[in-house]
Amino acid sequence: MFFEGSEKKIEVVFQDSLESLRQQPTSTWETLVEKSGAKILSKISNDKMDAYLLSESSLFVYDHYLVMITCGTTRLVHAVQYLVQTFSRESIKAFFYERKNELLPRAQATDFFSDLKILKQWFDGQSLRYGLEDEHHLFLFYDAKNFVPEKTDRTMEILMHGIDPDIIKWFSGNKTEDREQWRNKTGVSDIVRGNIDDFIFEPMGYSLNSIEDSKYFTIHITPEAEGSYTSFETNAFDQAEQKQWAEKVLQVFKPRSFDIMLFNDDVMGTPQFDGYQLKREFKDRIEAGYCTQYFT
């Protein structure tokens, strides 16, 4: 049975006047995740955030900010509805929703446009598509009229297709060897920092969260024989470091093709990667204050 690796993602910034999200009982986050169709597997924490590893991707909870990523046939908009009902629309300062194109879109319960109809019940935002409709592309919807991000607020997403078969085999089936040694052999240890929480799924699949201070790394691997997919995301680097780290990630997974989505405070020069040819580049400085760039 085919598993869709392409993900949906929300970023939600709450008003500073709201009590810290981290004071919420665990049941709040369990219900949030269950509303999307996923479950919490484990949790790690530091003094800045709580990172939850999910059956379908990840959830990161800060005092007044959260990031939630889901894959498969999850319905992330149902989790958004729960957030609004639990915390109120007025408590939300900024909202972002991303959805990447799927390999088998007809297997999904919804598409971006039906998600949009639901989201517009609460958010009066704008939507964009990065990439051409008949190629790799990513949709973004956001409502952040009165939001000013900090200059250090940056995110890099690397969305990889057709992972090298020699790499994929490492992420299929139960691995009984020491997990740290296994991460060293696969190269995963070279592309994350901090405290690591990971899970190998049966019969295949892998997810990882890693946190260091306020920075997170997350990796999700769907090692399908046809249509393998891996995502890597972090908020840890400035523009100068982003390209260097992207090169390290590509060296580990050796994808046939990939997309990069960036949220920065300024435009990055067009990156070049050995062995790959840039097909298209899209960029837009959105109302929320981010300079967004999508390379495919």
The residue extents of the domains of the chain are 8-144+155-295
Low-confidence ranges of the chain (pLDDT < 70): 1-5, 103-107, 173-176, 225
SS3 266: coil
Kindly name the residue from 6, 56, 58, 71 that is annotated as catalytic. 71
CA-to-CA distance for 64 and 175, rounded, in angstroms? 37
Residue 291: active-site member: no
Give the domain 8-144+155-295 fold.
S-adenosylmethionine decarboxylase (3.60.90)
For the entire predicted model, the pTM comes to 0.95
- 136 in catalytic set: no
Tokens of 197: 């929480």
CB 93 within 8 A of CB 13: yes
- Whether 207 is a known active-site residue: answer yes
Residue 45 annotated among the catalytic residues of the structure: no
CA distances from 65 to 10, 61, 101 (A): 11, 6, 26
* 4 carries an active-site annotation: yes
Which of 6, 58, 207, 231 is the catalytic position? 207
Q: What is the pLDDT of residues 188-214, one digit of tens each?
A: 999 999 999 999 888 888 999 999 999
Residue 206's pLDDT is 92
Q: Would you call 220 a catalytic residue per the annotation?
A: yes
> What is the pLDDT, as a whole number, of residue 121?
97
Q: Which of 6, 98, 220, 233 is catalytic?
A: 220
Which pLDDT value is given to residue 174? 62
Give residue 228's pLDDT.
87
